[in-house]
A = this chain, B = another copy of it.
Amino acid sequence: MSQDLAAGDALAAGDAPAAGDAPARRGRPRSEKAHQAIMSAAAELLLERGLAAVSMDAIAERAKVSKATIYRWWPTKESLALDALYHEWSDVPEPADTGTLRGDLLSMLLPWARLAARRPYGRVVSALLTQAQTEPEFAAEYHTRFIGPRREQARAVFDRAVARGEIPPGTDIDVALDLIYGPVYHRLLHGHAPLTDQFVRDVIDMALRGIATPGPVRAAAGRPA
């Protein structure tokens, strides 16, 4: 470390070529044990208290790690939370190829919904969402790691259904995806009603009827031009 700036008499303009960079550290602690400890501590505390109520000191203490070690690898508390949640959800399996759209969707959504319903994940997800809406960089990472892959999986499932002739070829897949995921996230985030297996099934059934049924809308009375 160069201490030459300590005196401060001169401006030390010479350190312009300080290519040292390292503004965005990325990676994980050298020791896999430390990495596990940090991930677990962060996930536990996040679920216990919510992002806002968890301090970095608390995470460092529970992980038996120095706060500086955390900051060495994660630039902010939010990015740590993102990794911790990702770590927690890495168990969720790939969608199965059951032969029907309904079966494929159930195989994707049920395990995830059960996991999400069992513990207060909605709290963490909404906190990350809030952060994503303010920090474009964070939003990009959130979408790249969480939303994007899951949406691509689901899109493939729908593509198969189109190929099988289960749903019309002209279907707007983006709307269809939101029609399925929207209600599930709605319950997860708003908590006005429980996120049960039955609800997931009902949503899939109703949404699929709406998606698969071709033709114009019934009862389009009073529809403006």
Contact = CB atoms under 8 A, between A and B. Distances in A.
A59 B183 CA distance: 35
A33 to B, nearest CB: 31
Contacts of A127: 130
Q: Is the interface of A mostly helix, strand, loop or mixed?
A: helix
A199 interface: yes
Nearest to A184: B182
Nearest to A221: B100
Interface stretch (A7-15, A18-26, A49-57, A64-72): A49-57
A95 interface: no
B189 A189 contact: yes
Interface residues of A, number: 64
Interface string A164-180: 00100000101110110
A149 interface: no
Copies in the complex: 2
A191 interface: yes
Contacts of A176: 206
B134 A166 contact: no
Contacts of A213: 209-210, 213
Contacts of A174: 193
Given A99-B222, A134-B49, A206 B211 contact: yes
A100 B222 contact: yes
A50 B209 contact: no
Interface stretch (A35-43, A83-91, A118-126): A118-126
A16 interface: no
Nearest to A135: B50
Contact of A190 (B99, B129, B212): B129
11 contacts: A53-B134, A100-B221, A102-B218, A103-B223, A123-B130, A123-B134, A129-B129, A143-B192, A182-B185, A201-B223, A210-B211
